[in-house]
């Protein structure tokens, strides 16, 4: 399955419903398509009303129709919110959650470490300023392997 073409279809379809595509995963061995959505107005603010079951049902019904028409093959569709431990995938995500705690894994070690837990301080272009216990550093998005918010309950 080609994710970039799929992402474009999902973004267009969800945008019409007032949602934004937060993430998408395809699990090939189960033929499962997982779509993570958020409300479009959440882009402007990090703390917002979350996605409800009704939101997921509405998006799921629409996506089932659209994906069939567009010819995307999948066995099972799952629609949900990105959750409290949401992925941070790009500079826009990091900028939205500046001041929040995150777990970051880099592609290459800095002083022998690749895994850090700390606070996103700022973002300039594609460069993230990150503060962790014991220091502060900046990394380019190209150096990022993966990142998630640390849930605050």
Helices (H), 76-126: 91-96
Per-residue pLDDT tens over the stretch 68-123: 999 998 999 999 999 999 999 999 999 999 999 999 999 999 889 999 999 999 99
Cβ atoms within 10 Å, residue 95: 15
Cβ atoms within 10 Å, residue 142: 8
Which three-class secondary structure state does DSSP give residue 64? Answer: helix
Predicted structure pTM score:
0.80
Alpha carbon of residue 122 to chain centroid? 18
Which three-class secondary structure state does DSSP give residue 91? Answer: helix
Nearest to 119 by CA among 106, 130, 104, 108: 130
Tokens of 139: 């990394």
Which three-class secondary structure state does DSSP give residue 16? Answer: helix
**Residue 54 φ/ψ, nearest 5 degrees:** -60, -40
Q: What's the pLDDT band for 134 if we cut at 50, 70, 90?
A: confident
Per-residue pLDDT tens over the stretch 16-70: 999 999 999 999 999 999 999 999 865 444 445 689 999 999 999 999 999 999 9
Distance CA 58, CA 60 (A): 5
Q: Pick the residue with more confidence: 10 or 45?
A: 10
Distance CA 123, CA 97 (A): 10
Is there a contact between 128 and 88 (Cβ–Cβ < 8 Å)? no
Cβ atoms within 10 Å, residue 75: 9
All domains of the chain in start order, with CATH: 3-80 (3.30.300.20), 91-149 (2.30.30.180)
């Amino acid at each position: 399955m080609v994710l970039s073409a799929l992402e474009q279809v999902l973004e267009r379809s969800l945008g019409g419903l007032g949602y934004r595509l937060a993430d998408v995963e395809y699990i090939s061995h189960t033929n499962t398509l997982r779509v993570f959505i958020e409300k479009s107005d959440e882009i402007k603010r990090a703390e917002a009303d979350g996605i409800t079951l009704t939101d997921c049902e509405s998006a799921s019904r629409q996506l089932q129709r659209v994906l069939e028409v567009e010819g995307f093959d999948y066995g099972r569709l799952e629609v949900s919110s990105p959750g409290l431990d949401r992925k941070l995938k790009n500079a826009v995500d990091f900028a939205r959650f500046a001041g929040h705690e995150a777990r970051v894994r880099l592609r290459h070690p800095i002083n022998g470490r690749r895994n850090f837990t700390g606070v996103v301080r700022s973002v300039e272009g594609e460069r993230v300023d990150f503060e962790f216990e014991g220091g502060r550093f900046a990394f380019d998005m190209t150096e990022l392997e993966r990142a998630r918010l640390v849930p605050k309950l």
